[in-house]
C-alpha cells in the first residue's frame, strides 16, 4: 500500500505514474529511463538525450566516450544510477516519507547533474589541450630560458649588443653562384653523348664569362668615348663624332681583351684550386669538380694569353698589349698570392680593374695619332690622356663598394679558406672603405664633364646613380652589413657601373650636334663671294663677314712646282 501514496505524491508534483507502470519500469529499467529522461533533456545536454532502442542507434548514442570516461573515474557514483536517470529519482522519491524530503532530493539530483556537466566540459577542454603538439611546451620553455638569459645578461652589455645585432640581421638568401660554378653544374648535367657541348661549357667556365664581359665593357666604353678630331671625321656624314674610329680595331680590341681576361681567370682558378674547395660559392668550379685536368687548364690559359696578346699587339698597338700583359701578371701572380698574406690584396685587385679603360683609351689614341712612331709615354701621359685616367679612376673606386659588400656576405667562406679580407679581419674598416670610395665617385664623374668629354646630361645620370650607391653605402656603414645592407650595396654597385658607362656614351660631347644642326663649319672648298661695285647698303650676310681669307700656303714646301 506504500506504492499508492507515493504515486499520489508524484501526481501532485506534476508526474503521472501508475503502480503497474512503475512495476514494469523496475523490471525494464532501460526503456523507462529513456522515456523519463525527456523531462530533463534541457538540463543534461551533453548526455545525448533520448537513446533509441535499436542497436545501431544505441551504438551511435554511446559514441560520446568522454561522458563514459568521465563517470568511469568517479567510482563514488553508481553507474547504474546515472544511466537510469529519472528512474532513480522516482525510486528515491517513492522511498521518502515527506514532501520536504522529496524537494531536497530533487534539488540534490539537479545540483549533482549540473556538477557532472561542468566536470564533463572541463574534461573535454583537458582532452583538447592534451592533443596539442609538444612544440608549445618547447616554445614556453624557450621563452623562460630567454627571460632567464635576459636577467643574467643585465651585467653583460656585450651580449645584449650581439643579440641586438643578430635581431637586426635576419637570415638572408645567399648570393647566386658565380658563372663558373653555374656552367660547371650545367656541364655535369649534360648527357655523356654531348661531349663537345660539355667540353665547351667547361672551358667557358674557366674564363669566368661574367667578369670577362665586364672587362670588355669597360675597355670598349673607353675606346668609344675617346674624342675624335674633326679632321678625321667624315664630312659626308651628318654626325661629326662617332663612337669609334675603326670597326676592325674595335673587333681586335674586344676579342683580345676577352682572351687575355680568360687567361688571367684560368690561372687564378689553377692556383686556388685547393682553396676554392673550402668555399661554398666556388666549390662547384670545374677544377674543383675535376671536370678538367690542371694540365689541360694550363694549356688553355697559355693559348688564350698568347692569342689575346697577339691580337692586341697587331690589331691595336704594342702599348695596349703591354697593359694587357701587365694585367695578367698582377691578377694571377700578385693578387692571387696576396689574398693569403694581407688585406691589401683588395687594392691590387682594384688596380687590375682600372687598367682595361686605359687599354681602350690607348687603342683609340694610337689609331688617331699623327705620328707613326708614337711612344707609350705619348699615349699614357699626354694632355689628351686625362679621359682615360678618369675612367681608370672610376673603375678603381667602383671596385671597393662592390667587393666589400660581396666579401661581407661570404666572409665566413673567406675565413675558412684562409683569405685575408677586411670583411672578417676588420669589419668596421671594411664598411668605411666602401663608403669612402662610394663618395669619391662624384668628383670622378665630374672630371669627365670638366675635361670636355661628356655634356651636362651625364652629370644628371651619374649623380642619380652615385646618390643611390652612396645611400646604400651609408646604410652599409651604419649597420655594419646587418639588416640586408650588404646585399643592397652589392646590387646597387652591379647596376651603377653599367648605367654610368652607358650614360657617358649617350652623352658624349658632340655626338648629337649633327642631328640638331649644331657645329656647322664652313668647308675649305667653298668659293669666296665676288666683290661687287658699289656699296652693299648694309646687306652683308653674317656668314660673309665671319669668313676669313684662305691661308697663305707655300706650295713649294708641299712638293708642288711652279708652272713654267
Give 347-371 pLDDT, tens digit per residue: 999 999 999 999 999 999 988 765 5
Contact 284, 177 (CB under 8 A): yes
The CATH architecture that domain 209-381 belongs to is Orthogonal Bundle (1.10)
If one compares 132 and 477, the residue with the highest pLDDT of the two is 477
Contact 168, 479 (CB under 8 A): yes
Contact 417, 275 (CB under 8 A): yes
- pLDDT tens per residue, range 427-470: 999 999 999 999 999 999 999 999 999 999 999 999 999 999 99
For 1-23, give the DSSP string: --HHHHHHHHHHTT----HHHHH
Q: What local confidence, expressed as pLDDT, does residue 7 receive? A: 46
Contact 271, 336 (CB under 8 A): yes
| Mean pLDDT, residues 184-192 taken together | 84
d(CA 311, CA 533): 65
If one compares 183 and 417, the residue with the highest pLDDT of the two is 417
**Residue % of the chain over a pLDDT of 70:** 58
CB atoms within 10 A of CB 126: 10
Residue 117, all three cell numbers: 556537466
- pLDDT tens per residue, range 418-432: 999 999 999 999 999
Residue 262, all three cell numbers: 680568360
Residue 307, all three cell numbers: 692569342
d(CA 471, CA 473): 5
Output the average pLDDT for the chain: 75
d(CA 331, CA 352): 6
| Mean pLDDT, residues 181-187 taken together | 84
d(CA 9, CA 96): 10
For the chain, domain boundaries: 3-130, 209-381, 400-513
| Mean pLDDT, residues 474-478 taken together | 95
Residues pairing with 454 in the sheet = 508
Task: Provide the pLDDT confidence category of residue 164 given band limits of 50, 70 and 90.
Answer: confident
86 burial via Cβ count (<10 Å: 0-12, 13-18, 19+)? buried
Contacts of 465 (CB under 8 A, 6+ apart): 495, 496, 499, 500, 503
For 392-436, give the DSSP string: HHHHHHHHHHHHHHHHHHTHHHHHHHT---HHHH-HHHHHHHHHH
Q: What local confidence, expressed as pLDDT, does residue 19 receive? A: 59
614556453: which residue's cell? 140
* Helix/strand/coil for 557: coil
Contact 29, 79 (CB under 8 A): no
647596376: which residue's cell? 495
Q: Which of 11-15, 245-249, 545-549 has the lowest mean pLDDT?
A: 11-15
CB atoms within 10 A of CB 162: 12
Q: Does 149 have pLDDT greater than 60?
A: no
Nearest of 516, 16, 553 to residue 238 by alpha carbon: 516
First to last CA, the chain: 176
Q: How far from 335 is each of 271, 309, 342, 374, 449, CA to CA, in Å? A: 11, 20, 10, 31, 33
Q: Does 44 have pLDDT greater than 50?
A: no
Nearest of 161, 61, 174 to residue 412 by alpha carbon: 174
Q: How far from 58 is each of 34, 61, 525, CA to CA, in Å? A: 11, 5, 120
The phi and psi torsions of 454 (rounded to 5 degrees) equal -130, 165
Q: What local confidence, expressed as pLDDT, does residue 32 receive? A: 43
Nearest of 208, 370, 347, 227 to residue 285 by alpha carbon: 208
Amino acid at each position: 500500500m506504500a506504492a499508492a501514496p507515493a504515486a499520489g505524491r508524484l501526481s501532485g508534483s506534476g508526474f503521472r505514474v501508475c503502480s503497474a507502470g512503475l512495476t514494469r519500469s523496475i523490471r525494464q529499467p532501460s526503456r523507462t529511463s529513456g522515456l523519463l529522461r525527456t523531462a530533463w533533456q534541457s538540463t543534461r545536454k551533453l548526455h545525448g538525450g533520448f537513446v533509441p532502442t535499436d542497436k545501431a542507434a544505441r551504438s551511435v548514442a554511446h559514441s560520446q566516450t568522454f561522458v563514459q570516461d568521465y563517470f568511469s573515474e568517479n567510482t563514488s557514483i553508481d553507474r547504474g544510477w546515472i544511466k537510469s536517470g529519472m528512474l532513480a529519482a522516482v525510486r528515491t522519491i517513492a522511498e521518502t516519507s515527506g514532501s520536504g524530503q522529496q524537494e531536497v532530493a530533487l534539488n540534490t539530483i539537479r545540483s549533482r547533474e549540473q556538477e557532472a556537466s561542468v566536470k564533463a566540459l572541463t574534461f573535454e577542454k583537458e582532452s583538447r589541450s592534451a592533443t596539442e603538439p609538444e612544440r608549445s611546451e618547447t616554445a614556453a620553455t624557450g621563452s623562460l630560458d630567454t627571460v632567464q638569459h635576459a636577467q643574467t645578461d643585465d651585467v653583460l652589455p656585450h651580449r645584449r649588443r650581439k643579440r641586438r645585432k643578430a635581431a637586426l640581421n635576419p637570415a638572408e638568401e645567399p648570393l647566386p653562384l658565380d658563372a663558373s660554378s653555374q656552367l660547371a653544374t650545367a656541364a655535369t648535367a649534360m648527357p655523356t653523348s654531348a661531349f663537345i657541348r660539355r667540353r665547351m661549357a667547361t672551358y667557358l667556365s674557366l674564363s669566368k664569362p661574367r667578369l670577362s664581359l665586364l672587362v670588355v665593357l669597360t675597355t670598349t666604353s673607353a675606346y668609344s668615348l675617346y674624342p675624335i678630331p674633326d679632321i678625321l671625321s667624315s664630312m659626308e656624314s651628318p654626325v661629326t663624332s662617332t663612337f669609334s674610329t675603326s670597326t676592325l680595331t674595335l673587333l681586335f680590341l674586344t676579342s683580345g681583351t676577352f682572351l687575355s681576361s680568360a687567361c688571367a681567370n684560368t690561372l687564378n682558378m689553377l692556383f686556388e684550386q685547393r682553396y676554392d674547395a673550402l668555399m661554398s660559392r666556388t666549390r662547384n668550379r670545374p677544377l674543383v669538380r675535376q671536370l678538367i685536368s690542371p694540365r689541360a687548364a694550363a694549356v688553355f690559359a697559355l693559348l688564350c694569353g698568347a692569342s689575346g696578346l697577339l691580337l692586341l699587339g697587331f690589331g691595336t698597338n704594342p702599348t695596349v698589349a703591354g697593359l694587357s700583359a701587365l694585367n695578367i701578371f698582377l691578377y694571377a701572380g700578385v693578387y692571387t698570392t696576396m689574398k693569403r698574406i694581407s688585406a691589401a690584396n683588395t687594392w691590387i685587385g682594384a688596380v687590375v680593374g682600372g687598367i682595361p679603360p686605359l687599354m681602350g683609351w690607348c687603342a683609340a689614341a694610337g689609331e688617331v695619332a699623327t705620328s707613326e712612331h708614337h711612344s707609350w709615354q705619348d699615349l699614357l701621359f699626354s694632355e689628351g690622356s686625362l679621359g682615360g685616367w678618369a675612367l681608370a679612376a672610376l673603375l678603381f673606386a667602383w671596385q671597393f663598394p662592390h667587393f666589400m659588400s660581396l666579401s661581407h656576405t661570404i666572409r665566413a667562406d673567406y675565413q675558412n679558406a684562409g683569405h685575408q679580407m677586411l670583411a672578417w679581419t676588420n669589419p668596421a674598416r671594411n664598411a668605411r672603405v666602401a663608403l669612402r670610395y662610394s663618395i669619391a665617385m662624384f668628383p670622378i664623374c665630374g672630371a669627365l664633364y670638366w675635361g670636355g668629354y661628356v655634356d651636362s646630361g651625364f652629370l644628371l645620370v651619374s649623380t642619380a646613380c652615385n646618390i643611390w650607391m652612396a645611400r646604400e653605402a651609408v646604410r652599409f656603414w651604419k649597420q655594419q652589413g646587418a639588416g640586408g645592407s650588404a646585399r643592397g650595396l652589392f646590387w646597387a654597385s652591379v647596376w651603377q657601373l653599367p648605367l654610368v658607362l652607358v650614360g657617358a656614351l649617350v652623352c658624349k660631347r658632340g655626338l648629337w650636334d649633327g642631328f640638331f644642326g649644331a657645329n656647322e663649319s664652313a668647308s675649305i672648298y667653298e668659293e669666296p663671294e665676288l666683290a661687287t661695285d658699289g656699296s652693299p647698303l648694309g646687306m652683308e650676310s653674317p656668314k660673309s663677314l665671319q669668313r676669313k681669307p684662305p691661308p697663305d700656303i707655300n706650295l713649294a714646301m708641299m712638293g708642288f712646282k711652279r708652272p713654267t
